[in-house]
Amino acid sequence: MTADDAPTDDTGDENETADDEIEPADVRAELDRQRSSSGATGAVNRTGDDRSEGTEEFDEGIVELLSTALDTDRAARVYIEVRRRPSATAEEIAAGTGLYPDSVREMLAELRDEGVVERHTHTTDSEDDAFEYTAIPPSELVRVMIDRVRDEFDARLGLDQLPDGRSEPTRRTSRSDPVTITVEEADEASDETPDSDEADDTDEG
C-alpha cells in the first residue's frame, strides 16, 4: 500500500470544517450580545445621569421657591426632607439636611405652630419615646401660605375678621367718621324767625 493509498480520517476533516462554519456565527452572536448589553448599560447610565441632574435642578428650584414661602432656606430644606422621609425623627432629618439637630428641632417646632408639620409619638423599647414627623402636601402648604399672607395683610391694615370670614376696617378715617345733624338747632332757628318779623312790623308802624 502506497502513501497515496493510505486511509484518511474524513471524520476529523468534517469536524474541523464544522467548527470553522459554526465558530464565526457564535462569535458574531456573542459580539452582538455584548454590544447590545453595553449599549443598554450606557443608555441606562446616561438616563440615570440625566435624571440625577434633573432631580438636582428640580430640588434646588423647589428649595428656592419654598425658601420664599417659608421665609428661610432652613425651613424649606426641613420641609422637603420630611416629605421625602415620612415618619422621620429629628435626628434623621438633621442627617438628611446637614443641619444641626437642635436647629432642626427648633425649625420643626416653628413649622408645627404654622400647621406645616405634624408630630407623632413613636413608642420604642427604650425609656424615651421618639417623635416622628410628617409634613402636609404642597397643595395644603399653598393654602397655609395664603392664610399667612392674608393675616399679615390684615394686621398691617388693621382689619378684623367678621364671623363669615370677611374683614372690616377697625380704623376710622375722615370718610368713615359719622356725620351728626343737629336738628334741634334748626328748629330753634325756625322758631325765632317769626319773632324777628313781628319786631320789624312794630318798628314800621
Fold of 50-136: Arc Repressor Mutant, subunit A (1.10.10)
Q: Label residue 70 exposed, middle or buried (CB < 10 Å: 0-12, 13-18, 19+).
A: buried
Per-residue cell: 97: 439636611
pLDDT value at residue 136: 87
| Model pLDDT for residues 26-82, shown as the tens digit of each residue | 556 666 665 565 454 454 444 444 444 444 444 555 556 666 666 677 888 888 899
Query: Taking Cα atoms as reference points, which of 73, 104, 90 lies closest to residue 133?
Result: 90
Largest CA-CA distance found in the chain, in angstroms, rounded:
190
Task: Measure the CA–CA gap between 22 and 122, rounded to whole angstroms.
Answer: 66
8 Å CB contact between 96 and 88: yes
DSSP assignments along 68-100, one per residue: HHHSSHHHHHHHHHHHHSTTB-HHHHHHHHT--
Mean pLDDT over 113-131 rounds to 77
**Alpha-helix runs per DSSP H in 114-172:** 138-157
What is the rounded CA–CA span in Å between residue 56 and residue 44?
18
Mean pLDDT of 149-166: 68
Enter the C-alpha cell of residue 134: 410628617
| 130 in Cβ contact with 124 (< 8 Å) | yes
pLDDT in tens, 180-205: 666 665 455 555 555 555 555 555 55
